[in-house]
Amino acid sequence: MTGNKNRDLRARNLELFRRGVPDIYARLEEAGQAVDEDLGAPPAERTYSARFTVKAPAREDLDAHTFHFLQAVLRRATDAGIAFFTEPRSPDTYFLVVVGASHGGRLLALLERIRPLCVVVVVPDGGALRRSFDNVDWTAIFRAVRTRNGELHFLLEDDADRVSANVWRVLRKTNPAAADGFTVVAHDHHDLARRIIRNLGDEAQLIVAGLGFFHDEMLMLANAYRNLGAANARVFKRTPDCDRGLPAFVIGSGPSLDWAIDAVKAHAGQAVVISCGSALRPLVRNGIVPDFQIEIENINVSPLTTQVAREHDITGVTLVTACTVDPAAVSVFDDVAYFFRKALSPYPLFCRTEDWSLPLPDPTVVNAGLSFAQVTGFRDVYLFGVDFGSQLPYQHHAKDAFHHTPEGTSFKHVSYDIEVDANFGGTCFTDRGLFAARDNAVEAIRVYGDGRRYFNCSDGVAIHGARPTRPEDLALPRTGIDKRSVVADIVGGFESGVSLVGTWPGDAVGNAIEDYAGRLKACLAAIDDFGDKAFYQPLMTILRPQMGYLDSPERSTESAVNILFRGTLFGMLIFVEYYLSRVADPAHVERFGNIARDELIRRFDALKELALVGLGGEAPRPLSPSEPVAAAAGEALPKLLRIGRNAACPCGSGLKYKHCHGKAD
């Protein structure tokens, strides 16, 4: 009888996945019937969990608008007598990652207890998921998630690096504002789970990075309009399906470039050399003139390019740069082509085809260089100085890089405090931003993997999909292909002679700003329960976090306006969630939520007026130099009210604070 029940449940589960998750069902079919013949009760493994929290806000990590928003919110909360815990008050979470699929009863109980709105189930392969079909009622699990209008994702993957990268992509495209407190629970596959948890712990602060902010977007719109409006402006165009016949050297300025520079010089005549950002100076100082120079930053580029142009002849170098670059950085190059970045506000205003953009060009210029090599038809790509970190925590950049010159002394070196696998074995060190850059490089190699080979000649972080290759072992075949003709063919494919920007649509942008403000305020006003994280869901339909991240924005002023505001809005909402979840007394949650809503609307109104002044006229203007990018060094967030250690815990447990939520202190 039990066997019949198991077979019936298995059949229902298979049909559920066939109809509801067809891509996962295809993987289940690949696992085959052999799996079904060896099903049994799930192993009685111990369940363990990890919870990840966002770092408390600090002035130096925030733009001025977010800082002053938090300052006002916390002052009002303090005046209202609202106290805060140091850790989240309840186990509720927006995001739940479950490793293992064998324990449906445990999972259902967990869903009821912590009320997640986005659940990611991780299993090593289709067989592991299919084995759960005899004892897990997946219909009940689907129903429990979707009753709250939640999302259920499946990752069939046994590589912890790819799992953690994909978890972050799900989180980033779904609701980065609610990242604080996301939870991982391991029911089985504990070795895989430990590696995933280690990775996610290293990456936990990445969610607050790379979302963009208002001041930056205003500047980039002004830069793009000026750059693209030039009479001789040209745009890059993808040609991924051709085969250039020569390899591409993608050069970063990591410390190991010093070790590899002789090999690069010896083989530069047999490869197209793509210099990324500050790699330009080490190359030309060593007699290597790159074929292409890649830039993505909108500030702090012109000092580097001007210095190199003053010291060396770079007339043979073609600059391929984001259209948002500082116009002063462009003037030292004779040949320039612009590309678009989908996550930035100029894309939906000016980019007429996705072929004018680079895929996965962030967060570092090396990512853009790798992307350029991939979508211009290079089948063999060699990475030099692409360290994404360093063998020693205090090392940064090749010795001839701008950052080691007197003009570059203002460069602030970040701390390499994350230990990761090194390219040639052992370990090395990286930081949050470079960790994300490594993940995006791995994803780019996966996406553009067919028919291509990648060689990592850098003595830095291991990059999955790129073969470790020592520079001294490099042996390139003689192809007989003229490198100059390859470069000329690429440059000749750039679009020119087209009107890229035309008249600035000031009135349309102004109307779109007013419309956006109305919809955002109406959505905020409709929130009636700040204790249920479901209040974020309508907001995400306005902020659309997936737009420009995974999905190409539609060409419209509405999309541009959303990108203009949403980075700073996300920054504010991330810390609304941070403090909402730490309000000590549950009875004060709504009061704090109302304060945060009032101040969010007040701060957004100030941003809206700045945007209307800067963008509503005949041409976009960056913010006035008097408008601060960051809060002044002397400013601080208010000191929060805390609970006395011997006071009753406000959560209602009946315990003293020091024996309850105060344990975290």
Q: Which segments within 15-100 are labelled E, that is strand?
A: 48-52, 95-99
Q: Which residue has the higher pLDDT, 414 or 538?
A: 538
Rg (alpha carbons) of the chain, rounded to whole number: 26
Residue 280 has pLDDT above 80, yes or no: yes
Structure tokens that stand for 602 in this block: 């007040």
| % of the chain with per-residue pLDDT over 90 | 64
- Backbone phi, psi, residue 51, to 5°: -125, 135
pLDDT band at 41 (very low <50, low <70, confident <90, very high): very low
Q: Is 632 within 8 Å of 67 (Cβ atoms)?
A: no
Residue 532 has pLDDT above 90, yes or no: yes
Over residues 144-150, mean pLDDT? 94
Interatomic CA distance for residues 105 and 365, integer angstroms: 47
**pLDDT reported for residue 638:** 93
Interatomic CA distance for residues 101 and 137, integer angstroms: 11
**pLDDT reported for residue 386:** 96
Three-class secondary structure of residue 658 per DSSP:
helix
Interatomic CA distance for residues 80 and 403, integer angstroms: 48
Is 0.85 topped by the overall pTM?
A: yes
Q: Which residue has the higher pLDDT, 290 or 663?
A: 290
Q: Which residue has the higher pLDDT, 44 or 100?
A: 100
Residue 400 has pLDDT above 60, yes or no: yes
99, 313, 582 from 96: Cα distances, Å: 10, 55, 19
Over residues 466-484, mean pLDDT? 92
CA 275 to chain centre: 23
CA 305 to chain centre: 27
The sign of the torsion formed by the CA atoms of 214, 218, 224, 227 equals negative
Residue 625 has pLDDT above 80, yes or no: no
**Which residue in the block uniquely carries the two structure tokens 């649509």?**
505
**pLDDT reported for residue 513:** 97
Q: Is 313 within 8 Å of 210 (Cβ atoms)?
A: no
**pLDDT reported for residue 2:** 52
111, 219, 349, 405 from 342: Cα distances, Å: 35, 16, 11, 34
Residue 651 has pLDDT above 80, yes or no: yes
Over residues 410-414, mean pLDDT? 69
Range in 197-211, 350-364, 380-394, 515-529 the model is least confident about: 197-211
Over residues 218-222, mean pLDDT? 93
Residue 50 has pLDDT above 60, yes or no: yes
Three-class secondary structure of residue 329 per DSSP:
helix
**pLDDT reported for residue 299:** 80
| % of the chain with per-residue pLDDT over 70 | 94
**Which of these, 440, 438, 396, lies nearest to 420 by C-alpha position?**
438
pLDDT band at 665 (very low <50, low <70, confident <90, very high): low
- The residues pairing with 292 across neighbouring beta strands, listed in sequence order, are 274, 318
Q: Supply the mean pLDDT for the chain.
A: 90
Q: Which segments within 475-543 are labelled E, that is strand?
A: none
Q: Classify strands 453-456 and 467-468 as parallel, antiparallel or unpaired.
A: parallel
Residue 628 has pLDDT above 50, yes or no: yes
Residue 379 has pLDDT above 60, yes or no: yes
Q: For the packed helices 536-543 and 506-525, what is the interaxial angle rounded to 10 degrees?
A: 170
Residue 283 has pLDDT above 60, yes or no: yes
**pLDDT reported for residue 427:** 93
Spell out the SS3 assignment of 565-634.
HHHHHHHHHHHHHHHHCCECCHHHHHHHHHHHHHHHHHHHHHHHHHHHHHHCCCCCCCCCCCCCCCCCCC
Interatomic CA distance for residues 474 and 471, integer angstroms: 5
- The residues pairing with 97 across neighbouring beta strands, listed in sequence order, are 120, 184
- Among 99-108, 327-336, 406-415, the range of highest mean pLDDT: 327-336
Residue 39 has pLDDT above 50, yes or no: no
Residue 410 has pLDDT above 50, yes or no: yes
Residue 34 has pLDDT above 50, yes or no: no
Q: Classify strands 427-430 and 418-421 as parallel, antiparallel or unpaired.
A: antiparallel
Interatomic CA distance for residues 276 and 455, integer angstroms: 17
The model's pLDDT over 338-376, given as tens digits with 9 standing for 90+, comes to 999 999 999 999 999 999 999 999 899 999 999 999 999
CA 641 to chain centre: 34
Three-class secondary structure of residue 418 per DSSP:
strand
Structure tokens that stand for 235 in this block: 């745009």
The model's pLDDT over 433-449, given as tens digits with 9 standing for 90+, comes to 898 899 899 999 999 88
**pLDDT reported for residue 146:** 93
Structure tokens that stand for 645 in this block: 């250690």
Residue 479 has pLDDT above 80, yes or no: yes
**Helix%, strand%, coil% for the chain, nearest 5:** 45, 15, 40
Q: Is 539 within 8 Å of 177 (Cβ atoms)?
A: yes
Residue 500 has pLDDT above 80, yes or no: no
Q: Is 139 within 8 Å of 106 (Cβ atoms)?
A: no
Q: How many CA atoms lie within 13 A of 274 on its CB side?
A: 27
272-306 burial by CB neighbour count: b if 16+ within 10 A, else e? Answer: bbbbbbbbbbbbbbbebbbbbbbbbbbeebbbbbe
**Which of these, 368, 374, 388, 381, lies nearest to 253 by C-alpha position?**
388
**pLDDT reported for residue 351:** 93
Distance between terminal CA atoms of the chain? Answer: 54
Instruction: Give the DSSP H/E element, type plus range, for residue 226.
Output: helix 214-228
Q: Is 78 within 8 Å of 638 (Cβ atoms)?
A: yes
212, 294, 606 from 562: Cα distances, Å: 12, 27, 16
Interatomic CA distance for residues 338 and 645, integer angstroms: 59
Quickly count: other Cβ atoms within 10 Å of residue 551's Cβ: 12
Q: Which segments within 168-317 are labelled E, that is strand?
A: 182-186, 248-251, 272-276, 292-295
Show Cβ contacts of residue 646 under 8 Å, excluding neighbours closer than 6 positions. Answer: 656, 657, 658
Q: Is 632 within 8 Å of 64 (Cβ atoms)?
A: no
**pLDDT reported for residue 4:** 63
Residue 203 has pLDDT above 70, yes or no: no
Residue 497 has pLDDT above 70, yes or no: no
Strand order in the sheet with 453-456: 335-339, 318-322, 292-295, 272-276, 248-251, 380-384, 453-456, 467-468
**Which of these, 595, 495, 440, lies nearest to 70 by C-alpha position?**
595
188-198 burial by CB neighbour count: b if 16+ within 10 A, else e? Answer: bbeebbebbbe
Over residues 580-593, mean pLDDT? 96
pLDDT band at 144 (very low <50, low <70, confident <90, very high): very high
